[in-house]
């Protein structure tokens, strides 16, 4: 206790010496202008949705269009069977056409055979069908999705990953939104299926709760949803065909979301919604190194999409002012500028301050973010989650989460630098190099 008091006095003396607490206040503008307003708006929008949902009488709908669920498969093996079975067992009165596209099928015989084994099972389920499309050349996720789109017979197209499974009312909840003629895309909560495996999966599970559920719920109800995830996106097929399906390259989900939004100025009635009842379950990287590899691609792709592929399309004249301001605020300032600001700030105070003062500064920053995250987590448990008992397990990982968040942001800055210097999007398993060259990426 005495040593902590000494550190505190040293911290005060040091800050007084360095121009009246300038280091302590240096991070405040970033928090006030980049983060807190986003969290506030998001939660206000989420509460508005919850209140509206509580007072409105539920609709009894008789809308069960023919839907197509396209599953992109690569090296899932037997795990793909869980995905197909979860679709066969959907509580949905309409027809569900399941199209499983196996990329580089000759190499991925285990996945292909696992799908073939299900053919006899499908006949036991009324209004369900399974089509298996083996692609013998590796073409990547985009070519698989477009192959499924070309073959699809349903009015609504579900773009799904082969390592993802679903609650049995997912299709029912998602399809209901398309009764509105202006609805072009829907997504829902993504939960971590392997959350109990390692510390990394538990951390990512909490991250998905606060971003994939709370974040998308709030942003969608503001009309500015940031992205329809590639592992779980639902689209009106006719509109998807109108915009040309998926484009070559990596970050195909963000690319498609931005292309949809670039119709908003001309067609302001178009909508993308988030459906809390359409729940998916996915596996996340179990090791720290696998997590870093995944985020190297994800975060590097942000720079590629914003600065290269869509640099001319990000404008108020195409997206409307609301989506343009949000994209600049969240996509550019929060996702691109903020990671670099944190890295520069940390290095700067590490160089300028004595070790004890630097350490205490980092403890204060940690305390602030811990409180911010804890408030959001408990609000999530109280008002958002429909699996409170299961999600309460994340409380044990809560003290580690600010450190995880800090590492993620530092890594995000490195991933963006990798993209700028090395063109990291060209080294992606999601899109083979020959595909990227044909698409002139």
**Confidence class of residue 237 from pLDDT cuts 50, 70 and 90?**
very high
User: For the segment 341-386, what is each residue's pLDDT rounded down to a tens digit?
Assistant: 889 888 988 888 888 878 888 888 898 899 999 999 999 999 999 9
Alpha helices in 152-276 (DSSP H): 170-176, 199-208, 216-221, 237-242, 252-261
Q: How far is CA 188 from its chain centroid?
A: 10
Residue 427 falls within a domain, yes or no? yes
Are residues 226 and 85 part of one domain? yes
Residue 311 falls within a domain, yes or no? no
Residue 45 falls within a domain, yes or no? yes
Q: Which range has the worst mean pLDDT, 23-32, 129-138, 197-206?
A: 23-32
Residue 31 falls within a domain, yes or no? yes
User: CB-based contacts of 85: which residues, under 8 Å, 6+ apart?
Assistant: 118, 121
> Which of 346 and 403 is assigned the larger pLDDT?
403
Residue-wise burial string across 210-243, b where 16 or more C-beta atoms lie within 10 A, e elsewhere? bebbbbbbbbbbbbbbbbbbbbbbbbbbebbeee
Are residues 276 and 340 part of one domain? no
pLDDT at 427: 58
The total of structural domains in the chain comes to: 2
Total-model pTM: 0.90
- 425 burial level (CB within 10 Å; 0-12, 13-18, 19+): buried
Residue 54 falls within a domain, yes or no? no
Are residues 351 and 221 part of one domain? no
Task: Assign residue 111 a region (left: φ > 0; alpha: ψ between -120 and 50; beta: otherwise).
Answer: alpha
Give me the domain span that covers residue 119. 60-291
CA distances in angstroms from 173 to 138, 156, 159, listed in the order given: 34, 13, 16
Residue 375 falls within a domain, yes or no? yes
Are residues 422 and 332 part of one domain? yes
CATH of the domain at 178: 3.90.550.10
Are residues 188 and 43 part of one domain? no
Domain end residue (candidates: 252, 274, 291): 291
Whether residue 20 is predicted with pLDDT greater than 50 in this model: the reply is no
Are residues 346 and 275 part of one domain? no
């Amino acid at each position: 206790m005495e040593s902590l008091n000494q550190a505190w006095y040293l911290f005060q003396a040091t800050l007084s010496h360095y121009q009246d607490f300038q280091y302590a206040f240096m991070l405040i503008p970033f928090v006030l202008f980049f983060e807190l307003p986003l969290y506030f708006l998001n939660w206000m929008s989420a509460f508005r949705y919850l209140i509206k949902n509580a007072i409105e009488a539920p609709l009894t709908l008789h809308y069960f269009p023919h839907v197509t669920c396209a599953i992109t498969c690569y090296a899932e093996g037997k795990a793909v069977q869980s995905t197909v079975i979860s679709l066969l067992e959907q509580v949905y009165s309409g027809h569900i056409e399941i199209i499983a596209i196996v990329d580089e099928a000759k190499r991925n015989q285990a996945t292909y055979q696992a799908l073939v084994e299900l053919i006899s099972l499908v006949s036991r389920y009324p209004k369900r069908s399974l089509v298996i499309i083996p692609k013998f050349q590796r073409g990547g996720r985009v070519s698989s999705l477009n192959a499924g789109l070309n073959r699809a017979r349903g009015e609504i197209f579900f773009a799904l990953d082969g390592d993802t499974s679903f609650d049995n009312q997912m299709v029912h909840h998602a399809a209901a939104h398309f009764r509105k003629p202006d609805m072009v895309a829907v997504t829902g909560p993504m939960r971590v299926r392997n959350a109990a495996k390692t510390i990394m999966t538990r951390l990512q599970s909490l991250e998905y709760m606060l971003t994939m559920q709370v974040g998308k719920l709030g942003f969608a109800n503001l009309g500015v949803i940031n992205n329809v995830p590639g592992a779980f996106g639902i689209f009106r097929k006719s509109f998807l065909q109108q915009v040309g399906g998926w484009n070559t390259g990596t970050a195909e989900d963000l690319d498609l979301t931005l292309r949809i939004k670039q119709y908003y100025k001309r067609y302001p009635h178009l909508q993308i919604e988030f459906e809390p009842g359409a729940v998916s379950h996915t596996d996340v990287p179990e090791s720290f190194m696998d997590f870093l590899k995944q985020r190297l691609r994800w975060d590097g792709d942000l720079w590629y999409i914003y600065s290269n592929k869509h640099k001319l399309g990000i404008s108020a004249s195409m997206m409307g002012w609301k989506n343009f301001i949000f994209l600049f605020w969240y996509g550019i300032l929060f996702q691109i500028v903020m990671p670099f600001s944190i890295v520069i700030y940390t290095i700067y105070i590490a160089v300028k301050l004595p070790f004890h003062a630097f350490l205490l500064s980092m403890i204060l920053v940690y305390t602030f973010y811990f409180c911010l995250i804890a408030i959001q987590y408990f609000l999530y448990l109280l008002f958002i989650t429909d699996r409170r008992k299961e999600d309460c397990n994340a409380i044990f990982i809560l003290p580690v989460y600010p450190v995880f968040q800090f590492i993620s942001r530092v890594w995000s800055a490195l991933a963006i630098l990798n993209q700028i210097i090395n063109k990291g999007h060209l080294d992606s398993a999601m899109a083979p190099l020959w595909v990227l060259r044909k698409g002139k990426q």
